[in-house]
Amino acid sequence: MHGTRILDEADRLMTVCNSCRYCEGLCAVFPAMEMRRAFSDGDLNYLANLCHACGACYVDCQFSPPHEFNVNVPKTLAVARAESYAAYAWPRVLSGTFARNGLVISIVAALSMAAFILGFAALNDRSVLFGVHTGPGAFYRLMPHNAMAALFSAAFLYAILALVMSVRAFWRDIGPPIGGRADGGSIFQAIRDACELRYLHGGGVGCYNEDEKPTDRRKLYHHLTFYGFLLCFAATSVATLYHYLLGREAPYPWWDLPVVLGTLGGIGLIVGPIGLFMAKMRRDPALLDEARYGMDVGFIAMLFLTGFTGMALLVLRETAAMGPLLALHLGAVFALFVTMPYGKFVHGIYRFAALLRYAQERRSEAGS
């Protein structure tokens, strides 16, 4: 018996699947399962986070519902995965944020954006707030650069700390890899698998979402979202280097690197989340973890909001709307940062850790 109902169910399913093994060519979950004959809580959390929810094992399974064996691996692992986020949250006192995550994210986002708007209004003259600012340092007339850098660095560093502490708990819980080997090759393999979304491919033919046909486009939308996010992060990083190393202040002209990166990233962060949201609306309810609908949609909405306010700011930065839009964009980004350890963002961290563990196990199996 495990600590929770969902881990008991995951254990039951892995026992069924381990006596069948038809799905072992579909993804990483089943080969990892086959390395074990019994499953601890940590093992099940590892497998849950290794699952990419491509849906192939559900439509391929002769025992999925309405069969009495009721084998629904994607949904069971989705619930187990979400519960693992709460279980490993740091500090523990904040694990409750995962319970009604959509609400929490909405409130934090609303408060954050409201705070920036009120702050801008309180600290700036009305003529400055609604003024037209152009040229280097235009943004910093509304909020001093150092204040902005300090605030966002603090939020970001906190997020990093909380994420590191969370994933550390996860890493400890899933135990040493079967075969016990860790090396650089495994890290490289895991980075590749994560960057390619190797296991979001239904065993090669594509993923499943609304029915038994492999017509799903989530991989494309996830790539747009993920690389959009990375490009935006790169834009911010380049801009920071410009500021401190070259003494060049934002805003930059449209052709300059931070703007090009940010624009491409922003487009990804708008199109990707819309696509992911539409896919979620179409998803077969049998595969959906309804209880985490809020968490999933909340994260998608936060990414969309970040991209959308950023693009609006870019387009309208030389108008009177710049001040309020800057407040909204900063509010969205701040909310995204502080909720990173307490929302769907963590899925990427745990999944990467699981892929790393899997790469280690595969390499030690191949080497043994």
- With residue 259 as reference, give the H or E element that holds it: helix 257-282
Binding mask 67-106 for other proteins (x = CB under 8 A): xxx-------------------------------------
**What is the phi/psi pair of residue 199, to 5°?**
-95, 5
240 to 58, 133, 226, 340: CA distances (angstroms)? 46, 20, 21, 21
Place of tokens 């629904």: 72
In angstroms, give the least distance from the CB of 205 to other proteins.
7
Site membership for other proteins, residue 168 (CB under 8 A): no
Site membership for other proteins, residue 22 (CB under 8 A): yes
**Among the residue ranges 151-159, 161-169, 200-208, 276-284, the one whose residues contact other proteins (CB under 8 A):** 200-208
In angstroms, give the least distance from the CB of 67 to other proteins.
7
Tell me which residue of 293, 232, 285 sits closest to 106, measured CA to CA. Answer: 293
**Among the residue ranges 14-22, 107-115, 277-285, 312-320, the one whose residues contact other proteins (CB under 8 A):** 14-22
- With residue 160 as reference, give the H or E element that holds it: helix 145-173
Of the candidate residues 4, 40, 42, 63, the single one contacting other proteins (CB under 8 A): 63
- Applying the rule CB under 8 A, the residues between 239 and 298 that interact with other proteins are none
What's the rounded Cα separation, in Å, for the pair 232 and 160? 17
Token duo for residue 177: 């890899």
Task: State the distance between the two ends of the chain, measured CA to CA, in whole angstroms.
Answer: 32
In angstroms, give the least distance from the CB of 366 to other proteins.
14
Place of tokens 């909204």: 328
Site membership for other proteins, residue 66 (CB under 8 A): yes
Total residues in contact with other proteins, by rule CB under 8 A: 29
- Applying the rule CB under 8 A, the residues between 208 and 227 that interact with other proteins are 212-213
Site membership for other proteins, residue 185 (CB under 8 A): no
CA Rg, the chain, in Å?
A: 22
- Which residues contact other proteins by CB under 8 A? 15-16, 18-26, 34, 37, 56-57, 59-63, 66-69, 203-205, 212-213
